[in-house]
Chain A
Amino acid sequence: MSVAKPLTSLLAGIIFGLGLAISGLANPDKVLQFLTLNSDWSPALLFTMGAGIVVTFFGYKWVLQRGPVLAEAFSLPTNTRLDPQLLTGAGIFGIGWGLAGFCPGPALVGLTSGMIEPVIFVIALIAGSQLRKITA
């Protein structure tokens, strides 16, 4: 069991990383082409989110009627309140996303590009997250 969980996570990670790369979401130029409302606007990212949500919606339905294979129970968020932390945090994330076109997953995948920008972004991301942790 102790090896099974990391192995299945590794597999899920590979599929997720491939999905991000294939969709174009790992490319901040394409993300900004969606977030920037001008004559170059591209809805491609909506196709990614739409397909991802459709597959996950029906897949989750199926899974939640069964149970996790390798875990005792599902680890699902329990907070249901639209609290100020959620709203402020999502807003701050939106500012950062719009500034560079990177969100956490694509930035990690970008580490394999050999470029320096994702490396700098991921270091700043971890620093920002730690800053929130110690100031919360």
Chain B
Amino acid sequence: MITNDYMMAALGGALIGISAVLLLWLNGRIAGISGIINGAFSRTAGEAGWRIAFIVGLLAGGLLFQLFADQPLITRSNYPLPLTIGAGLLVGFGTRMGSGCTSGHGICGISRLSPRSIVATMLFVGVGMLVATTLQGFLK
């Protein structure tokens, strides 16, 4: 049901927000996933531990969902391999260069009214739409 889809989308978004607020309130940190992944490899004391714990939590959340939900997490298979690899490389490169992704800029940064995050989010959503719209036209 379509209405239900939107309700779940908003509920999920609210949970993401609650998580971001908890992380800043308790640990003083921004819930930006690309930064958390990069920092998880840090050898500086106190930098890696909480990030690894957060990533473990993300995975646990995914498993919990699949335990109780009646729908699969991902509904596609056989997506063209070169696209997946190319996309991963670009997302990894771009999020490090641009200091953030959908969570760090799109949720946390916009909520702090950071001009950098507002511009970055408009850019990656706009470019993402342009690329997806062009590509999906060819794939279909």
Residues of A within 8 A of B (CB): 5-29, 32, 35-38, 42-45, 47-57, 59-60, 62-64, 66, 68-77, 79-82, 85-105, 107-113, 115, 117-118, 120-133, 136
Contact = CB atoms under 8 A, between A and B. Distances in A.
A86 B119 contact: yes
A38 B51 CA distance: 38
A69 B131 CA distance: 42
A134 to B, nearest CB: 11
Contact of A122 (B88, B90, B106, B136): B88
Contacts, number: 480
Nearest to B72: A113
A59 B127 CA distance: 30
Interface string B101-132: 11101111111101110011101111111111
B17 A105 contact: no
Given A22-B8, A36-B133, A55-B21, A28 B74 contact: yes
B126 A94 contact: yes
A98 to B, nearest CB: 3
22 contacts: A9-B54, A16-B16, A23-B12, A50-B13, A51-B14, A52-B13, A52-B20, A59-B18, A59-B21, A68-B28, A74-B24, A75-B29, A86-B99, A91-B127, A94-B126, A96-B86, A96-B88, A98-B127, A99-B135, A104-B95, A108-B59, A129-B92
A48 B12 contact: yes
Interface string B5-16: 110111111111
Interface residues of B, number: 105
Given A60-B24, A90-B119, 4 more contacts: A6-B53, A15-B15, A19-B11, A62-B21
A21 to B, nearest CB: 4
A9 B133 contact: no
A94 B94 CA distance: 8
B84 A8 contact: no
Contacts of B38: 129, 133
A25 B106 CA distance: 13
A23 B9 contact: yes
Contacts of B51: 9
Contacts of B72: 113
Contact of A56 (B75, B96, B111): B111
A57 B117 CA distance: 14
With most chain B CB atoms within 10 A of its CB, the pick from A7, A12, A37, A60 is A12
